[in-house]
């Protein structure tokens, strides 16, 4: 399967509307200039001052817990438990991790001396990048807005945030939280469509942090290039699962059914398609079908469950279009396949026998469709994965350690779980990010500090030795230098 990966979230820049009024454009410019002096002042802020701001953010999130749950229901039809688990817990964990480790993370790090630098002392210091931009997606609005905001604040930056207009109730809650916690000269938040994002991207930020589709990520990177701004791009792609015939099929089926259908598949690290060894393929399809039936019910029965809805009509039509295109080309629906366009509902659906030219094989699905592809030898799957753009996540289900290692060593992905789904996102001691098409840079924990800090090299002379290289001594040093170079 060779994939070009179209973005599911913003397939092309949305047409500019009247969202960006002259007044809003002027306000964006005003706040950007206002944040310049604040950014300089924050360079001198202490760790305790920054932790105090994160504590205030934490309390505001907790205070607006019911508002977050209500927004999840209004924008997605998501359950309260799912909203708390996916929207609140990751941010609160990130804040707790920073509270515990920030002093150590930001402490200057001594650098050992090199042979040429006797008489000096060196260290690396973490300094704020300055004015930062965070452009957030619609699928997990709280987690993917406030998650990167935590290290940005912890590093002493100012931030301007653009929320997604596609989740308006979530956006309203975020506006309330941000304005409750911060003055606009430190953190400002803006709502609106692509025209607002473009106005922000036209500004010379010191760092731009974008979460969303690879296609829009390219536009963000191009905008950053005009100003030589650094970027963190958290993108997506087609994240595969590989299941060999040693796997615990029952555990694999239930875990995959859980991980895929959180937010009804609208997750950047959700499994996109499954490669399963042919001699266990039918068993696996039966096992995952049982799990889906037990939890949700098949077809339109699942409409009465706690499954989320597709975010809007446009994306519903896109997901339905992928399903209909695959069926028209000969793909078989082995489970589900029910659609209620008016309710923005597509039931959990398993597909088999999908032809390579079906759109679902090249576009990121970002919905409740799950293609299942049989294979005989691991080398076939490794070749298929390596012919596609590098995924954000790659999942392996196997009790054969050598098989798992073979896949890991012969492929590239942003992150990998063996016998789990999406769990690496929840471990704050791991970097989270993509590679090439699926992203540039990473964050979470200490990696968030790296994303929002400049690692500044500082060298101080204690006693001066460089004068031995001053003319006319240099020529006399050739033989000693040759001896030293021979020992290196």
The token pair that represents 183 in the structure block: 């003055």
3-state secondary structure of 380: helix
Contact 413, 437 (CB under 8 A): no
Angle CA(283)–CA(289)–CA(293) in degrees, nearest 5?
A: 150
> Residue 438: which of 221, 214, 225, 267 has the closest Cα?
214
Tokens of 117: 């630098």
Provide φ and ψ at 157, rounded to 5°: -95, 165
Is-catalytic flag, 234?
Answer: yes
3-state DSSP helix/strand/coil % of the chain, to nearest 5: 50, 20, 30
The per-residue b/e assignment along 171-210, b for 16 or more CB within 10 angstroms, e otherwise, is bebbeebbeebbebbbbbbbbbbbbbbbbbbebebbbbbb
Tokens of residue 444, six digits: 């979470």
* Residue 472: cis peptide before it, omega within 30 degrees of 0: yes
Which helix (H) or strand (E) is 176 found in, with range?
A: helix 168-181
Say which of 94, 234, 364, 446 is annotated catalytic.
Answer: 234
- The per-residue b/e assignment along 125-159, b for 16 or more CB within 10 angstroms, e otherwise, is ebebbbbbbbbbbbbbbbbbbbbbbbbbbbbbbbb
Catalytic residues: 234
């Amino acid at each position: 399967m060779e994939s070009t990966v179209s973005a599911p979230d913003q397939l092309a820049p949305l047409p500019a509307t009247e969202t960006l009024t002259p007044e809003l454009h002027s306000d964006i410019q005003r706040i950007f200039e206002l944040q310049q002096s604040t950014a300089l002042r924050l360079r001198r802020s202490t760790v305790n001052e920054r932790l105090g701001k994160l504590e205030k953010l934490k309390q505001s999130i907790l205070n607006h817990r019911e508002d977050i749950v209500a927004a999840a229901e209004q924008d997605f039809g998501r359950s309260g438990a799912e909203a708390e688990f996916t929207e609140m817990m990751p941010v609160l964990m990130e804040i707790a991790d920073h509270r515990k480790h920030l002093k150590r993370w930001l402490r200057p790090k001594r650098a050992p001396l090199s042979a040429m630098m006797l008489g000096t002392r060196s260290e690396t210091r973490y300094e704020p990048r300055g004015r930062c931009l965070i452009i957030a997606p619609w699928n997990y609005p709280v987690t993917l807005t406030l998650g990167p905001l935590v290290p940005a604040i912890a590093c002493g930056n100012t931030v301007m945030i653009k929320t997604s207009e596609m989740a308006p109730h979530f956006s309203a809650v975020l506006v309330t939280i941000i304005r409750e916690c911060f003055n606009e000269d430190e953190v400002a938040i803006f709502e609106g469509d692509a025209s607002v994002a473009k106005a922000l991207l036209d500004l010379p930020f010191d760092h731009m942090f974008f979460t969303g589709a690879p296609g829009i990520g390219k536009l963000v990177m191009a905008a950053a290039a005009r100003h030589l701004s650094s970027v963190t791009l958290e993108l997506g792609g087609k994240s595969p699962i590989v299941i060999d015939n040693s796997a615990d099929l029952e555990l694999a089926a239930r875990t995959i059914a859980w991980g895929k259908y959180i937010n009804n598949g609208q997750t950047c690290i959700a499994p996109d398609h499954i490669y399963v060894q042919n001699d266990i393929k039918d068993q696996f399809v039966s096992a995952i079908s049982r799990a889906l039936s037990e939890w949700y019910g098949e077809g339109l029965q699942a409409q009465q469950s706690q499954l989320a809805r597709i975010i809007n009509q446009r994306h519903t039509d896109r997901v339905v279009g992928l399903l209909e295109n695959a069926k028209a080309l000969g793909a078989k629906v082995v489970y589900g396949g029910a659609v209620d366009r008016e309710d923005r509902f597509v039931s959990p659906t398993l597909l088999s026998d999908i032809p390579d030219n079906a759109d679902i094989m090249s576009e990121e699905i970002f919905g409740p469709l799950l293609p299942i592809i049989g294979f005989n030898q691991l080398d076939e799957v490794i070749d298929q994965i390596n012919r596609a753009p590098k995924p954000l996540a790659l999942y392996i289900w196997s009790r054969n350690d050598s098989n798992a290692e073979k896949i890991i060593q012969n492929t590239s992905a942003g992150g990998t779980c063996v016998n789990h789904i999406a769990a690496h996102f929840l471990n704050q001691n791991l970097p989270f990010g993509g590679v090439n098409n699926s992203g540039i840079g990473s964050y979470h924990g200490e990696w968030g500090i790296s994303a929002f800090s400049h690692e500044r090299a500082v060298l101080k002379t204690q006693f001066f030795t460089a004068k031995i290289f001053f003319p006319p001594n240099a020529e006399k040093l050739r033989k000693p230098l040759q001896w030293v170079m021979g020992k290196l």
